[in-house]
Amino acid sequence: MLLDQPQDVQAAAAAAPDAGRRPFGALIRAYVRLTKPRIIELLLITTLPVMFLAQGGLPPLWTTLATLFGGILSAGGANALNCYIDRDIDAKMRRTRRRPLPMVQVTPRETLIFGTVLSALSTLWLAAVVNLISGALSLLAILFYVFVYSLVLKRRTTQNVVWGGIAGCMPVLIGWSAITGGLSPTPFVLFLVVFFWTPPHTWALAMRYREDYALAEVPMLPVVAGERTVLRQCLAYSWATVLASLALWPVAGTTLFYPIVAAVLGAAVLAEAYRLLLRLRRGHTGPALQPMRFFHLSNTYLALLFLAVAIDPLLS
């Protein structure tokens, strides 16, 4: 109901009858925001370096561009469908209430059509232009994100981002298969890196917006468990992430450059995870814990780690 929503959302909803007179530029910006560009950037960061690794150097330009374009369509479609599914809880949360649907910049029907079209186009593009395996993996990622994570896991279990994160791991497999036409143990090592990295990264954000998730009745771990439990889980998954990243060295046969970079980056992430636990023991709670420091550091960690993945085959 309108009375349950923030004033800015109420005002946007009241203006809904004027939707037919929406400025074209504003409408385009709204559609772009439905795709969640920042998440797309993160997925591309994990796709492109794997293509360098699979090629053993610079991958073919056309294959690279075709794969990245298909990945943008795939992620954008899945994200738009997620916006459609989560439109009710997005309107309740400070972090998401200014998204296009809560602000009535687009309609649910338009969002559903937009997400479905992008998802279909991405699958057809990758299957026809890259290869069938890449297209199938893209479709699997979309279906998993929409039906398993968004519709089943997110509102029912604290394990939502653990298993739901599998969809975000698929780009490394897509990037590898785009170059090699198949799969091998190497991309699955990087799959595990992203899989273990996702929960602590997301839980740090959820600690910052705990009240939002509680209001929306989304059972993120920081909502249903104490801070000590959450931080211990973050530390455990961070250790798993670092160990998985180091496993790439023997599996892929990288040069010494990669494990050295992975070890340094891993040490930084683990130090920040331990710092959070230390601050908790000293009596800091809530925002005073500064969980967003870990969140931003983990973003930097993943970007630099995959940059090392791309650079290493060039050195060899």
CATH number of this structure's domain 23-179: 1.10.357.140
**Tokens found for residue 83:** 């916006």
Would you state the pLDDT for residue 2?
37
What is the distance between the alpha carbons of residues 129 and 122, in angstroms, rounded to a whole number? 10
Q: What percent of the chain has pLDDT over 70?
A: 93
What is the distance between the alpha carbons of residues 203 and 266, in angstroms, rounded to a whole number? 18
What's the mean pLDDT in 55-73?
Answer: 97
**Res. 17: pLDDT tops 60:** no
* Helix 227-252, helix 185-208: angle, nearest 10: 160
pLDDT band at 24 (very low <50, low <70, confident <90, very high): confident
What is the distance between the alpha carbons of residues 184 and 46, in angstroms, rounded to a whole number? 17
Task: Please give the mean pLDDT across all residues of the chain.
Answer: 92
* pTM (2 d.p.): 0.91
Return the amino acid letter for 154.
K
Backbone region of residue 283 per phi and psi (left: phi > 0; alpha: psi in -120 to 50; beta: other values): left
- Tens of pLDDT along 244-288? 999 999 999 999 999 999 999 999 999 999 999 999 999 888 888
- Burial of residue 194 (CB within 10 Å: 0-12, 13-18, 19+) is buried
What is the distance between the alpha carbons of residues 282 and 226, in angstroms, rounded to a whole number? 16
Pick the CATH number of 184-316 from 1.20.120, 1.10.3680, 1.10.287, 2.40.70: 1.20.120
pLDDT band at 23 (very low <50, low <70, confident <90, very high): confident
What is the distance between the alpha carbons of residues 257 and 255, in angstroms, rounded to a whole number? 5
- Tens of pLDDT along 74-107? 999 999 999 999 999 999 999 899 999 999 999 9
What is the distance between the alpha carbons of residues 47 and 71, in angstroms, rounded to a whole number? 8
**Res. 21: pLDDT tops 80:** no
Q: Which residue spans of the chain are classified as CATH 1.20.120?
A: 184-316
Q: Which residue spans of the chain are classified as CATH 1.10.357.140?
A: 23-179
Would you state the pLDDT for residue 95?
87
pLDDT band at 6 (very low <50, low <70, confident <90, very high): low
**Res. 3: pLDDT tops 50:** no
